[in-house]
Structure formats: structure tokens, C-alpha cells
Amino acid sequence: MSEWFTSRIRTIPNFPKAGIMFRDITTLLADARGFRKSVDELVQRYVGVEINKVAGIESRGFILGGAVAHQLATGFIPIRKPGKLPHTTIGEDYKLEYGTDRLELHEDAIASGDLVLLVDDLIATGGTAEAAVKLIRAAGGTVAAACFVIDLPDLGGSRRLRDMGVEVITLCEFAGA
């Protein structure tokens, strides 16, 4: 199954900087069957589970997360960069290789005890996803799982989330960075 997805994902060498192999899911999303199969595979194990919300990480997580929320007949929560949400927010800072960044969500987006499915396109080092998990937990939610189309296992992000007690679901993986 993994090979089916990897064959539909474009790799762009040296983007956004030298030495990086950018995994571009726009080719997968542009393929009607590829988009549908991606969403179906992410949703499959949660059909019949009472997921209260799906949270998507800016920005490709919005595309996938919105479709997953629709399929599960539940609400969608955008997790965004600072200053993008119009109401009162809570935030979580996280480290980057060259500094720090921050994710935010509306303070009233998650009710205490909500079961939340986290969705994004790719897990690499896991810093952004870890911050999103912490943010969901700080808001009172429980993370059912973190779902990604692509895993870059050599960078350790999936392991990082599993070490936090989060189930990680991925559709395919690529070796290296």
C-alpha cells in the first residue's frame, strides 16, 4: 500500500534549501483517486469511534483534516501560526533548528475530554506535531492519534510522538531527510 502512495508524491530536490528532498503532496491531492484514497485510509480505523474534533496543522493539514472531519461527521479545528486566528487563543512554542516558532488554537475550540484526531501531511522531526499535541492536551482534549500521509522515519518525529503516548498513523514513508 505504501508504494501506491509514494508513486503519487512528487519529490523536489534542494527545496526549500540545498540538501532537502521536499515531498510534495500536491500531486497526490490533484489526483481524485489519490486524494480520496488518502482520506479513506486516514479515516478507516476511526469509523464508529466517537471522535469529537479533527485538528489540522497549518496549512496542508487543513486540506486533509477538513476532508477527514467531513468523513467522520465531526468538527474541524485549525491549528495555526501566531496572529492568524481572530478570537482569544492559547499557544505552544516549539524549537526549530534555527530558532523557535509557535502554534495557536482558539481557547474554546476543544471541550474538556474531547477526543481529537490530529492531521497533517508529513511528520519529519516532530517538533510541530509535538507542539500541536501539547496544545490539544492543554486545551483539555485527548489525542486519539496523529495521522500523516508521509513519515520521514530517519528524522525521528514518529518516535517522538509515540514516546508521548500518541498513536501515529502514516500512509507511506521516505528514507532520509
Q: Look at residue 154 in the predicted model and tell me its pLDDT.
A: 95
User: Would you identify the CATH topology of the domain 39-173?
Assistant: Rossmann fold (3.40.50)
SS (H, E, C) the chain: CHHHHHCCCEEEECCCCCCCEEEECHHHHHCHHHHHHHHHHHHHCCCCCCCCEEEEECCHHHHHHHHHHHHHCCEEEEEECCCCCCCCEEEEEEEECCEEEEEEEECCCCCCCCEEEEEEEEECCCHHHHHHHHHHHHCCCEEEEEEEEEECHHHCHHHHHHHCCCCEEEEEECCCC
**pLDDT at position 177:** 66
pLDDT at residue 176 in the model:
78
Predicted local confidence at residue 96, as pLDDT: 78
Contacts of 172 (CB under 8 A, 6+ apart): 1, 2, 3, 5, 6, 9, 149, 150, 151
Active site residue 60: yes
Q: Is 97 a catalytic residue?
A: yes
Asked whether the whole model's pTM tops 0.75, one would answer yes
The active-site residue, picked from 8, 23, 41, 60, is: 60
List the chain residues with pLDDT less than 50: none
